Amino acid sequence: MMMKKGSLLIKNAAELVTCRGFQAKKGKEMSELHIIANGAVVVEEGIIKAVGTTEEILKAYNEENYEVIDATGKAVLPGFVDSHTHLVFGGYRAEEFSWRLRGDDYMSIMERGGGILSSVKSTKEATKEELFESAKKRLDSMLSFGVTTVEAKSGYGLDYETEIKQLEVAKEVNEHHPVDVVSTFLGAHAVPKEYKGKEDTFIDFFIEKVMPEVVERDLAEFCDIFCEKNVFSVEDSRKLLTKAKEMGFKIKLHADEIVQLGGAELAAELGATSADHLLQASDKGIQAMAEAGVITTLLPGTAFSLKEDFARARYMIDHNCAVALATDLNPGSCFTESIPLIFALATLYMGMSTEEAITALTINGAAAVDRADTIGSIDVGKKGDIIILEFPSYKFIPYHVGVSTVEKVVKEGKLVFDKQK
* The predicted structure's pLDDT at residue 115: 86
How far apart (Å, rounded) are the C-alpha atoms in residues 281 and 256?
5
* The predicted structure's pLDDT at residue 366: 99
- Residue 404 labeled ligand binder: no
- Residue 176 labeled ligand binder: no
Q: Is the pLDDT of residue 420 over 50?
A: yes
Give the residue among 232, 273, 282, 225 at the shortest CA–CA distance from 253: 225
Report strand pairing: 35-44 vs 47-53: antiparallel
Q: What is the pLDDT of residues 187-197, one digit of tens each?
A: 999 999 899 99
For the segment 336-342, the average pLDDT, to the nearest whole number, is 98
Q: Which residues 6+ apart lie within 8 Å of 81 measured at CB?
A: 147, 148, 149, 150, 324, 361, 362, 365, 366, 368, 369, 371, 375, 376
What are residue 276's DSSP bridge partners? 254, 297
- Residue 319 labeled ligand binder: no
- Residue 236 labeled ligand binder: no
- For residue 404, how many other CB atoms are within 10 A of its CB? 18
How far apart (Å, rounded) are the C-alpha atoms in residues 289 and 322?
9
For the segment 66-79, the average pLDDT, to the nearest whole number, is 98
Residues above pLDDT 70, as percent of the chain: 99
Q: Is the pLDDT of residue 52 over 50?
A: yes
- Residue 277 labeled ligand binder: no
The number of residues in the chain equals 421
- Residue 333 labeled ligand binder: yes
* The predicted structure's pLDDT at residue 4: 67
**3 pLDDT band (50/70/90 cuts)?**
low
* The predicted structure's pLDDT at residue 1: 39
Q: What is the pLDDT of residues 168-193, one digit of tens each?
A: 999 999 999 999 999 999 999 999 98
Q: What is the pLDDT of residues 207-235, one digit of tens each?
A: 999 999 999 999 999 999 999 998 999 99
Q: Is the pLDDT of residue 121 over 70?
A: yes
CA-based angle 379:84:411, to the nearest 5? 35
Q: Is the pLDDT of residue 375 over 90?
A: yes
Q: How many helices (H) and strands (E) does the chain have?
A: 17, 16
- Residue 84 labeled ligand binder: yes
How far apart (Å, rounded) are the C-alpha atoms in residues 131 and 344?
30
Q: Which residues 6+ apart lie within 8 Å of 204 measured at CB?
A: none
* The predicted structure's pLDDT at residue 143: 98
- Residue 254 labeled ligand binder: yes
Q: Which residues 6+ apart lie within 8 Å of 107 measured at CB?
A: none
* The predicted structure's pLDDT at residue 138: 98
Q: What is the mean pLDDT of the chain?
A: 96
- Residue 400 labeled ligand binder: no
Whether the predicted model's global pTM rises above the 0.85 cut: yes
What are residue 183's DSSP bridge partners? 152
Set out the domains of the chain in order of their start, with CATH numbers. Answer: 8-78+378-418 (2.30.40.10), 81-368 (3.20.20.140)
- Residue 156 labeled ligand binder: yes
For the segment 379-395, the average pLDDT, to the nearest whole number, is 98
- Residue 257 labeled ligand binder: yes
